[in-house]
A and B are shown apart, each in its own frame.
Chain A
């Protein structure tokens, strides 16, 4: 049971990071540009990587994280720690913007039907660090990667499609050529395992 697991050293570090992130947001709410600079340094890499992974275009990804950080600056005063961490909020802002842009691009191109992953703006071969990039990962990223890598391949694939592709449930099922119920079950099992693994860390 998750509740019986005692917090580890990694969990304490993660909590401390979340606390610092929240403090930075509060300082940003008070108009502190230095706090914004610090938060950018802490969040920009995963957020940029996420945006890039979704839209598959560096220019668009840069626009997206600019908009997202400006939104964080403007809305910092309404942040509540009870509703989640600052990082998950920032990820939500970036992901929503990236998926909106991706879907807009799809609508314009009308490429949804019969498109290849690359044509849909989603590339499945962009996961995982290159050998020379692994040093750039912090402890959090490394442990999350380990948790995701530990998932069965079908669950990994369903989860990543759900998170990065901007496709609907039905589109994901069509893409994976699996029944919708199977896809939903894979997403549920994968996300629960990821939560449980992170719960051990947290």
Chain B
């Protein structure tokens, strides 16, 4: 079914009366609609028939001659080759030549095919070499990267171990300090008083750590020892009596001594400390003169 609007446009179209937008619109519709195309063809035939309506006129004969002349010059009909009839014996050399040509062509074709295949194989080998080289390069690069990563990891482990060691050391130090501080809390300090008859100016201080069973004695202004004598420190345990804490000497110039001591037996509680003058090398029990003693029990 043709759109009535297009029917009128189709009439104007075949008479070349459409222009501008009308023409563009109609040609677009024409391109879309095959039925409209058929309608236009019928109208064009009808319009062409109007060529029969003018008064008949015959063109002069020279017009035809001129046309034929122009078209003859324009055309180039193919030249025909002369026909030759050849006898069978005359064809033999040509047949041989044709066979040779075919053989040569076949051989040449085989050669070209083989050469082409060879070239393809070479190309394939080159490609495989390239792929292998590429894979090796990639493997090497990955190996280098892995080695670096391993070295970095090792370094990190070493650093971590170092840090751990430092930390452990710090912890140990801290523990030690803590222990020392704890021990310090346990330390007992006492002063030793001199006896007026034997060492009137002597003074002494003892610091005792019960947990370590160890102590320090600082003493001043003790009198010079007679020959064959030693000062001996005693720890008086209420349960055990005097326990030997070792002998010591003093600096002859200053009369001072700083002595770290340990008892020969474990001490549970201390009644007092005492310093006596004993025979050289000390004695198991105090026999001689007591020079210093603490007054209060620890």
Task: State the CA gap A40–B64 with chains docked (Å).
Answer: 7
Given contacts A84-B45, A169-B12, 7 further A-B contacts (CB under 8 A): A61-B59, A66-B70, A73-B67, A92-B48, A162-B12, A164-B54, A199-B42
- Roughly how many angstroms separate A168 CA and B15 CA in the complex, as a whole number? 10
A interface bracket (residues with beta carbon within 8 Å of B)? 35 or more
Q: Is B211 an interface residue (CB 8 A)?
A: no
Distance of A13 from chain B, by nearest CB (Å): 15
A91 to B44, CA, bound (A): 10
**Using a Cβ–Cβ cut-off of 8 Å, how many residues does chain B contribute to the interface with A?**
41
Q: Does B77 contact A (CB under 8 A)?
A: yes
Residues of B within 8 A of A40 (CB): 64, 67-68
Listed from nearest, the 8 A-B pairs whose CB atoms lie closest are A88-B48, A53-B54, A195-B46, A141-B52, A91-B48, A144-B52, A48-B59, A49-B54
- The answer to whether A70 and B71 touch across the interface, beta carbons within 8 angstroms, is yes
Is the CB–CB distance between B51 and A91 below 8 Å? yes
Q: What is the 8 Å Cβ interface bit string for chain A, positions 129-153, against chain B (1 contact, 0 not)?
A: 1100100110011001101100000
Q: Of B19, B45, B77, which one neighbours A85 at CB under 8 angstroms? A: B45
What's the least CB distance linking B20 to chain A, in Å?
11
Assess the A65–B51 pair: CB atoms within 8 A: no
Most A C-beta atoms less than 10 A away, residue of B50, B51, B60, B74: B51
Q: Please give the distance in Å from A26's CB to the nearest CB on chain B.
A: 15
CA distance A87 to B50 in the complex (A): 11
A36 at interface by CB-CB < 8 Å? yes
- Knowing A85-B45, A85-B48, the reply to whether A73 touches B53 (Cβ < 8 A) is no
Docked-complex contact B67 and A66, CB < 8 angstroms: yes
Beyond A36-B67, A70-B74, A199-B42, is A50–B54 a contact (Cβ under 8 Å)?
yes
Contact of B55 (CB < 8 Å), options: A33, A94, A133, A184: A133
A127 interface contact, C-beta 8 A:
yes
Q: In the docked arrangement, what's the CA distance between A134 and B169, Å?
A: 136
Contact A31 B17 (CB under 8 A): no
- The interface residues of chain A lying within 8 Å CB-to-CB of B72 are 33
Residue of A nearest to B42 (CB): A195
